[in-house]
Chain A
Amino acid sequence: MQDQAAHSMAAQRPASGLFGGRAVDCDVHISVPSVKALLPYLDSYWRQQFLTRGIDRISWNMTSDPPNAPLMIRPDRRPANGRPGSDFSILKDKHLDLFGPSAAIANCIYGGMALHSEDMAAVVCTAVNDWIAAEWLDRDPRLRASIVVPLNNPDLAAEEIERRAGDPRFVQVLMLAMGEQPLGKRAHWPIYAAASRHGLPIGVHAGSLYHHPALAGGYGSYFLEDYVAQAFGFESCVLSLVSEGVFAKFPELKFVFMESGVTWLPAALWRFDKTWRGVRAEIPWVKTPPSQVVRDHIRLTLQPFDAPDGAGRLERFCEQMKTDEMILFSTDFPHWHFDGEDALPIDAASPLARKILWDNPRATYPRLNALSPEVAA
């Protein structure tokens, strides 16, 4: 596997594209085209199960990720056939070559992780990770991936992390913002222990297992409500991760919130800090204001950046958070948050842009430390 890494680095293309290699795209989406595509990655028992039960003929689209909703597929990234994000050539020609990142982290948000059968979910996640390695990572040295894990069984999730950790192209563990229990709960800690052992951040992506409604008042009528509510889910993640003491237990661990939106965070922390001053006796292991814990341990990907164009809110975010190290560049390919090449809400030549595009991702992902556009050139 180490040879594979060396090969990847050496094989990096000449720096080119919009950012000349000096960027990491921390959230692009790849998509399993059909359950059938996973059959080669199943053992004979599970392959037979899938075939006799007709599972290979059903869709595992997620309710929180409807592939054809306008927000989920930019028109010029839509493949002629199949699911958005399932066509390698579109990702390569229309995206990676255009923006020219040194690396792009591929997230496969897949319904298999939502199955109630813990065994089947684990088998599907293993198959998906094998499929990611064979069908994507092997085809483009810029691609990295998040490890897909069965969210309903943290022990099996930890086993999957152990299985992938030797492949340096897997750079983080993928979880969803809204699952069965708040992310800080101790039930999840086997996942965090495994991730910590291998220097892997936890990437928390927008999405829900729908064990609970996204709105505290129950289920609304529109996808738009639930999509907006993803940010509320992430806000709960912040409260849970800090309050449960995840970072007291795993001091090296970092969480990356992906497709979370960004501008909601400062006000959430004003409130959290204030309440903590009043009731911190309830969580005595949190010894510094929560905003400090968040600054040290949580990162957010850029897109969709939820503020009006030209309002200076990204700069204000950094002022209010008192750091420019929290935002990681992302395009959220193939989702439709911006048109053309307009992925950055600030001047690409600014010092803040350099932090977001290049310094912050490498500081967040130990496995990307060694990236260098000079090597690439």
Chain B
Amino acid sequence: MSMDLLDPRERRKAGGALQGLGVVDCDIHPQFATPGEIHDFLPERWRDYVRAYGGFYRQPLADTLAHPRMAPDVARGDAWPPNGAPPGGDLAFMQAQHLDANNVDHGMLMPLNRGPGNQRNLEYGAALATAVNDWQIACWVERDPRLHASIVCTQEHAPFAIAEIERCANDPRFSQIMLPPKSLEPLGRRKYWPIYEAAQAHDLPIALHVGGVNGYSPTGSGWPSYYIEEQHTNVQGMQGLITSMVIEGVFEQFPKLKVVLVEGGVAWAPALKWRLDKHWKRLKSEAPHLKRLPSEYIRDHFWFTTQPLDEPPDDADLLETFELVGLDRIMFSTDYPHWDFDEPSFVAAKLRIGPEKLRAIMSGNARELYGLS
């Protein structure tokens, strides 16, 4: 949306700064070409289950969230492939519209499809996770090696999650483990530590893409009315994730764990660091397992993706917040094919930094984190 507000001359100039640079897009959403496509990857028992019972989540509507979005499929109006597949459901169209057009060297797949980790039936969740992982490989990565899969799993039952991680972890086509921020307990709690142990052992980052369904309201005071509010709760959700993972001591236990926050924004992070540090100093008797300032764990263990790019009225404020977070911890993302997609030239124009730092954010930081060429 913000594209219209940007001076075209600024965008041309920024486009120039990106000349010849293959970007890494840390947030691409693949979609099933047809609703039944995933069924080919499910055992018959679970195909029957889905037909009979459908989605079974901790929410009132069986097939969709109760905050209707502002665009069909939350998608860009021009992202509907001509072959009738939904946005993100046709690789050839995605290649033409995004991967080729925006010079994407590497794209990290963020499959949100049907939320295996939020299924109430844990055995179905595990079967669905396996299916989604196999589907990413067969339908996407095998057909376009620029794309990289994320291991989805059932975080609410660690043995199932570990089994799936172990099944996929040695396949280099998977680059990370993906968990829903809306889990049944805050993600710092000990029930999730076996997953972090496996992630650390395999040197796989944990990617937390906004969303999920856990039955709790997304605010501390209940359910908001509007999409504009619900969308913003992704920010409080990310703040809560950091708070939980840091204060519960995850990074004392797993000092090499890396966490990528996807689509939650960045600009809020400096103030959160200040708040955590200030109040931890006073309340550290409650959490003596923390040996360093909360902000130091954040600096070392968290990576942030750019989309939707924070837009202060003064562009200099954006750069200031990025610098307070650490320019080596910010990674470009588009959220293709969703409505609030950020084009590379838009991000480059807003950032107003030298070419070296720009290349790190658009490409280099992600290459280093994920070990990409």
List residues 175-204 of chain B with CB under 8 A from any CB of chain A. Answer: 181-189
What residues of A have a CB within 8 angstroms of the CB of B222 in the complex?
Answer: 179-182, 185, 211-212
Interface centre among B224, B229, B239 (most CB of A within 10 A): B229
Residues of B that sit less than 8 Å from A by CB: 1-2, 5, 70, 181-189, 214, 216-229, 231-233, 235-237, 239-241, 243-244, 247-248, 265, 267-268, 270-272, 274-280, 282-283, 285-287, 308, 310-314, 317, 321, 339-340
What residues of B have a CB within 8 angstroms of the CB of A276 in the complex?
Answer: 228
29 A–B contacts, CB within 8 A, in A order? A178-B221, A185-B222, A212-B220, A213-B220, A215-B186, A216-B214, A216-B219, A217-B240, A217-B241, A218-B183, A220-B188, A224-B279, A224-B280, A232-B240, A233-B219, A233-B221, A235-B232, A236-B219, A240-B219, A244-B225, A261-B275, A263-B271, A266-B317, A267-B267, A267-B270, A270-B310, A277-B5, A281-B70, A308-B274
Apart from A216-B236, A278-B1, A304-B279, list 7 A-B contacts with CB within 8 A.
Answer: A69-B286, A182-B221, A225-B248, A233-B221, A263-B270, A268-B268, A306-B279
Tell me the complex Cα distance, A273–B221, Å: 22
* B312/A266 in contact, CB under 8 A: yes
What residues of B have a CB within 8 angstroms of the CB of A185 in the complex?
Answer: 222, 225
What residues of B have a CB within 8 angstroms of the CB of A45 in the complex?
Answer: none
* A220/B220 in contact, CB under 8 A: no
Nearest B residue to A69, CB-CB: B283
* B232/A271 in contact, CB under 8 A: yes
* A236/B236 in contact, CB under 8 A: yes
What residues of A have a CB within 8 angstroms of the CB of B285 in the complex?
Answer: 70
Interchain pairs with CB closer than 8 A, number = 254
A57 an interface residue at 8 Å Cβ cutoff?
A: no
Query: In angstroms, how far is the closest chain A Cβ from the Cβ of B229?
Result: 4
* A240/B224 in contact, CB under 8 A: yes
What residues of B have a CB within 8 angstroms of the CB of A268 in the complex?
Answer: 232, 235, 268
Partner of B235, one of A217, A218, A235, A240: A235
Q: A70-B283, A71-B283, A212-B222 known; A267 and B321 CB under 8 Å?
A: yes
Q: A218-B214, A270-B312, A278-B70 known; A239 and B248 CB under 8 Å?
A: no
A350 an interface residue at 8 Å Cβ cutoff?
A: no
Which 8 pairs across A and B sit closest by C-beta, in order of nearness? A236-B219, A267-B267, A278-B1, A178-B220, A215-B240, A232-B236, A217-B186, A233-B220
* A224/B271 in contact, CB under 8 A: no
What secondary structure prevails in chain B residues at the interface with A?
Answer: loop
Query: In angstroms, how far is the closest chain B Cβ from the Cβ of A205?
Result: 13
* B220/A271 in contact, CB under 8 A: no
Tell me the complex Cα distance, A306–B268, Å: 13
* B265/A235 in contact, CB under 8 A: no
* A279/B220 in contact, CB under 8 A: no
A3 an interface residue at 8 Å Cβ cutoff?
A: no
Interface centre among A211, A212, A244 (most CB of B within 10 A): A212
* A282/B226 in contact, CB under 8 A: yes
What residues of B have a CB within 8 angstroms of the CB of A278 in the complex?
Answer: 1-2, 70, 339-340
Tell me the complex Cα distance, A184–B225, Å: 9
Tell me the complex Cα distance, A216–B240, Å: 7
A88 an interface residue at 8 Å Cβ cutoff?
A: no
Q: A236-B236, A271-B235 known; A220 and B275 CB under 8 Å?
A: no
* B221/A220 in contact, CB under 8 A: no
What residues of A have a CB within 8 angstroms of the CB of B265 in the complex?
Answer: 267, 271
What residues of B have a CB within 8 angstroms of the CB of A18 in the complex?
Answer: none
Nearest A residue to B269, CB-CB: A267
What residues of B have a CB within 8 angstroms of the CB of A271 in the complex?
Answer: 232, 235, 265, 267-268, 308, 310
What residues of A have a CB within 8 angstroms of the CB of B219 in the complex?
Answer: 178, 182, 212, 216, 232-233, 236, 240
A229 an interface residue at 8 Å Cβ cutoff?
A: yes
What residues of B have a CB within 8 angstroms of the CB of A110 in the complex?
Answer: none
What residues of B have a CB within 8 angstroms of the CB of A232 in the complex?
Answer: 219-220, 236, 239-240
What residues of B have a CB within 8 angstroms of the CB of A281 in the complex?
Answer: 70
Q: Mark A47-82, 1 if CB is under 8 A from B, else 0.
A: 000000000000000000000011100000000000
Query: In angstroms, how far is the closest chain A Cβ from the Cβ of B338?
Result: 11
* A236/B220 in contact, CB under 8 A: yes
* B275/A306 in contact, CB under 8 A: yes
Partner of B216, one of A216, A277, A336: A216
Tell me the complex Cα distance, A236–B224, Å: 8
Query: In angstroms, how far is the closest chain B Cβ from the Cβ of A287?
Result: 14
What residues of B have a CB within 8 angstroms of the CB of A223 in the complex?
Answer: 283, 286
